[in-house]
Chains A and B, each alone.
Chain A
Amino acid sequence: MKNYAKYWYLVVLLIVVSCADSLLVTSGLTNPAIALVIALTASLAGWAWLVKTIQKDRDQIMACLKNPELNRSKIQHKNFFGSLFTEALQKIEHSDSELLSTKQVQTILKARLNSLIKKEMLRESVLESLDTGILIFDAQHVLEFSNSAADDFLISKADQKDTHSDSSLSLSKTLFNDTVIPELSRLLTKTIQRKDATSCRRTEFEFTSNGSTNHFCAIATNLCDENQTALGTVVVIENNGEENKEKTNHAEFVSSVAHELKTPMSGIKAYVEMLIDGECEADEAMELYGFINEQIDRLTRLVNSMLNLARIESGVVDIKRHDYELNDILKKAFDVISPTAAEKEITITTQLSDLYLPVHVDKDMLGQAIINLLSNAVKYTPNGHEVCLRSRMEESSAVIEVRDTGLGIPEDSLPHIFDRFYRVPENNRSAAGTGLGLSLVHFIVTNVHNGSISVQSKVNEGTCFIINIPLGHKEKRRVQQLAASTNV
């Protein structure tokens, strides 16, 4: 039944009553007053019924609104407000679903935003943790980001100037001038001005901060999107002082090698030329042959020492570290040098620790280091003086001392004695040498054995080299661990 049908029945009923009423009056069966009463009664009854029905429908709607669980399908057909109510409900439900999807989009956007914020924070913390300075400028040349490594290259707000020009190019220049140090400002201006030539430019400069001067390399790169629209410029600033220092050291090393090789070669060339020219008497010639032989020996020693040092430093020689008793190694080194000391009438003695000194070392390399120190001590100690090799235990390290009562090293030479090719000028006539022996000792002790070496010396009183090597065996512990794991 349609929801409006009952109201049509009422209308039809009233029309029928009116017609019947009219017929009764027309036919004279009743008088007009009674007909009027009948009509009014019927109308009032119909009206009362209609009001009651509407009230009922309204109550039904109210009940439905209060309790959404009730069956609404009947209302749609039987209720006066059914279709209106249903339509309103549908619209509300539609709005609800729209609202739901809006909320979902909002949630998704929030999640994305959070994820982007996290990513940005991650990137910023990565950039912040770098030792390399990073400066990012937007397309309007305004500083967008800088990490703390780049702080030194920024100009503080107090130092910024107020002068701005109208021209956009000058404006960018002024912006850079006000933001970063002049070296970077020039680089940025050039990179942006000449972006068609290259997107990336580099400059090197020296910069003093907190009293120390360092050498830096800055690379500025223009950033573009896929449509080649300018996004900004990034500047990466690296401290390349170490690299420069390495280059300088390498150049100095090559120069030293050349010098060391050329010196004996000069002697040989001079003597050979004189011999060829026949300028020497027979006895002089013999003397020159002897000198040439000496110089060739010197060259051979030098080349061997350089090769030895290079092979050990570059790791070509395998380091074979095993467990040893330190005194055993020291005794062997002592035995090697003793005959040379005896020849020179130098009293060489040992004062080795009575304690067992366990070490985990490459015995050949450490032995070589001790031989080098003892050999130096014998070389630079005059006849009749003393050289002593000592060992002792000190906290977590084994200490080796090579002490002599020789020429000693002047104070100004002490910081250089482990440098390659360095020879103490005052002493280098006393013995032949390459200036590489102590450099090798230093490398063997510090790099190969994680130890340390120091020197104490007084001119004409003597020198003492002190080596510290970490105490302890490592192989036994490993064997025990292996045994323990097999027992389990």
Chain B
Amino acid sequence: MVPLVYVCDDDSHIVRAISMKLKKADLEVECFPDGLACWERIQDRAPNMVITDLQMPRMNGLELCEKIRDFTDSQSIPVTLLTGKGFEFDHDEYIETLKITNVMVKPFSPKKLLAQVQENLNFTHDLIG
């Protein structure tokens, strides 16, 4: 079964770049412009992984993570947080409290992001296996 990854960012170019990269690695990708749209979709169909931006309209990345962790079908899926914030954002605190798997600071390398996605998906599959 092809793993499903949700990509959530209000910048269409970032969504497009990530989506292209993941699709080329044979992953199924769905894109969303904000946290709320992504959360609504998660409730219908939980993905294998979520990549989300931090600052987004309607529902930001942290709020989305909270929802994901509170929802039974998605509470154990890996979440990668993309952020333009640097030192002013306490990564460790959110990694701890919201169980965020990875934080990538923009501008990021799609190659590294893909490597992390693959690692997380394998890890999850291993756990499930």
Name B111's closest neighbour in chain A (CB-CB). Answer: A273
Which of A382-428 touch B at CB < 8 Å?
A: 425-426, 428
Which of A273-325 touch B at CB < 8 Å?
A: 273-274, 277, 279-280, 284, 291, 294-295
A268 interface residue (CB < 8 Å to B): yes
The answer to whether B88 and A265 touch across the interface, beta carbons within 8 angstroms, is: no
Chain A residues within an 8 Å CB radius of B16:
291
Which of B61-117 touch A at CB < 8 Å?
A: 82, 84-86, 88, 106-111
User: Whole-angstrom distance between the alpha carbons of A425 and B11 in the complex?
Assistant: 11
Which one, A263, A279, A291, contacts B84 given CB within 8 A? Answer: A263
Which one, A267, A277, A425, contacts B17 given CB within 8 A? Answer: A267
Chain A residues within an 8 Å CB radius of B34:
425
Q: At the interface with chain B, which of A74-82, A251-259, A465-473, A479-487?
A: A251-259
Which of A425-461 touch B at CB < 8 Å?
A: 425-426, 428-429
A85 interface residue (CB < 8 Å to B): no
User: Whole-angstrom distance between the alpha carbons of A258 and B106 in the complex?
Assistant: 10
The answer to whether A269 and B108 touch across the interface, beta carbons within 8 angstroms, is: yes
Chain B residues within an 8 Å CB radius of A294:
13
Which one, A251, A295, A426, contacts B88 given CB within 8 A? Answer: A251
The answer to whether A273 and B110 touch across the interface, beta carbons within 8 angstroms, is: yes
Name B18's closest neighbour in chain A (CB-CB). Answer: A270
The answer to whether A266 and B108 touch across the interface, beta carbons within 8 angstroms, is: yes
A118 interface residue (CB < 8 Å to B): no
Chain A residues within an 8 Å CB radius of B110:
270, 273-274
A358 interface residue (CB < 8 Å to B): no
Shortest distance from the beta carbon of B7 to any chain A beta carbon, whole Å: 12
B interface secondary structure, majority: loop
Q: Type the 1/0 row for A346-364, where 1 means its CB is closer than 8 Å to any CB of B.
A: 0000000000000000000
| Chain A interface size, under 10 / 10 to 19 / 20 to 34 / 35 or more | 20 to 34
Shortest distance from the beta carbon of A411 to any chain B beta carbon, whole Å: 15
A216 interface residue (CB < 8 Å to B): no
Chain B residues within an 8 Å CB radius of A46:
none
Given contacts A268-B107, A274-B20, contact A259 B84 (CB under 8 A): yes
A207 interface residue (CB < 8 Å to B): no
A262 interface residue (CB < 8 Å to B): yes
Which one, B10, B18, B56, B107, contacts A265 given CB within 8 A? Answer: B107
B14 interface residue (CB < 8 Å to A): yes
User: Whole-angstrom distance between the alpha carbons of A279 and B110 in the complex?
Assistant: 12
Given contacts A258-B85, A426-B57, contact A267 B20 (CB under 8 A): no
Interface size for B (C-beta < 8 A) is: 28
Chain B residues within an 8 Å CB radius of A264:
13
Name B12's closest neighbour in chain A (CB-CB). Answer: A429
Chain A residues within an 8 Å CB radius of B55:
259
User: Whole-angstrom distance between the alpha carbons of A251 and B87 in the complex?
Assistant: 11
Chain A residues within an 8 Å CB radius of B58:
425
The answer to whether A265 and B106 touch across the interface, beta carbons within 8 angstroms, is: yes
Shortest distance from the beta carbon of A185 to any chain B beta carbon, whole Å: 34
User: Whole-angstrom distance between the alpha carbons of A263 and B33 in the complex?
Assistant: 14
Name A292's closest neighbour in chain B (CB-CB). Answer: B13
User: Whole-angstrom distance between the alpha carbons of A313 and B82 in the complex?
Assistant: 33
Name A426's closest neighbour in chain B (CB-CB). Answer: B57
User: Whole-angstrom distance between the alpha carbons of A291 and B56 in the complex?
Assistant: 21
Chain A residues within an 8 Å CB radius of B13:
264, 266-267, 270-271, 291, 294-295
Name B58's closest neighbour in chain A (CB-CB). Answer: A425
Chain B residues within an 8 Å CB radius of A428:
10, 57
Given contacts A259-B55, A425-B57, contact A266 B20 (CB under 8 A): no
Shortest distance from the beta carbon of B107 to any chain A beta carbon, whole Å: 4
The answer to whether B17 and A271 touch across the interface, beta carbons within 8 angstroms, is: yes
Given contacts A263-B11, A426-B57, contact A269 B107 (CB under 8 A): yes
Chain B residues within an 8 Å CB radius of A279:
20-21, 24
Chain A residues within an 8 Å CB radius of B11:
263, 266-267
Given contacts A291-B13, A295-B13, contact A266 B107 (CB under 8 A): yes
Chain B residues within an 8 Å CB radius of A269:
107-109
Chain B residues within an 8 Å CB radius of A277:
111
User: Whole-angstrom distance between the alpha carbons of A267 and B11 in the complex?
Assistant: 9
Shortest distance from the beta carbon of B19 to any chain A beta carbon, whole Å: 10
User: Whole-angstrom distance between the alpha carbons of A267 and B24 in the complex?
Assistant: 17
Select the residue from A255, A263, A295 with max chain B CB neighbours within 10 A. A263
Which of A213-251 touch B at CB < 8 Å?
A: 251
6 further A-B pairs in the complex, CB-CB below 8 A; given A270-B21, A273-B111: A266-B84, A269-B108, A270-B108, A270-B110, A291-B13, A425-B57
Q: Which 7 A-B pairs have the closest CB atoms?
A: A425-B57, A270-B17, A267-B13, A259-B84, A262-B84, A269-B107, A266-B107
List 26 A–B pairs whose Cβ atoms lie within 8 Å, in order of A's numbering: A251-B88, A259-B55, A262-B84, A263-B11, A265-B106, A266-B13, A266-B82, A267-B11, A267-B13, A268-B107, A269-B107, A269-B109, A270-B17, A270-B18, A270-B107, A270-B108, A271-B17, A273-B110, A273-B111, A274-B20, A274-B21, A279-B20, A279-B21, A294-B13, A426-B57, A429-B33
Q: Which residues of B contact A (CB under 8 A)?
A: 10-14, 16-18, 20-21, 24, 33-34, 55-58, 82, 84-86, 88, 106-111
